[in-house]
Amino acid sequence: MSEPDREPTKKPTNTKQEAKEEDQWMIRNWIGVAVVSIFGLLLLAVAMMQATGVMDVFGSVAETQTQQWGAFAVLALIWLALAGWSWKAISG
């Protein structure tokens, strides 16, 4: 047997309080992942509408097409940072 097979990586909870705290931690982190995923889908929909010319999403903030895509890029970078943070919370 290899070393990881001898001792499990996760220890079982010993008390109801530990189990409750672990459940709350899991729920909070997975809700964070869900919110980031929903925001990503909305960002994708905005990008598709912007690319096809259905609407000028950032028309009120930026005048040229390049400026509008720049505003979209800023939102995409914010989304990437949130996605990294939410997945780090789950894996860490």
- CA 1 from centroid of its chain's CA atoms: 37
pLDDT in tens, 17-30: 888 888 888 888 88
CA atoms of 33 and 36, how far apart (whole Å): 5
Domain regions of the chain by residue span: 65-92
Residue 35 φ/ψ, nearest 5 degrees: -65, -45
pLDDT in tens, 42-58: 999 988 988 888 887 77
Task: Identify the helix (H) or strand (E) that includes residue 15.
Answer: none
43 and 34 in contact (C-beta within 8 Å)?
no
User: Mean pLDDT lowest for which of 33-37, 72-76, 84-88?
Assistant: 84-88
Beta-carbon count within 10 A of 7 CB: 7
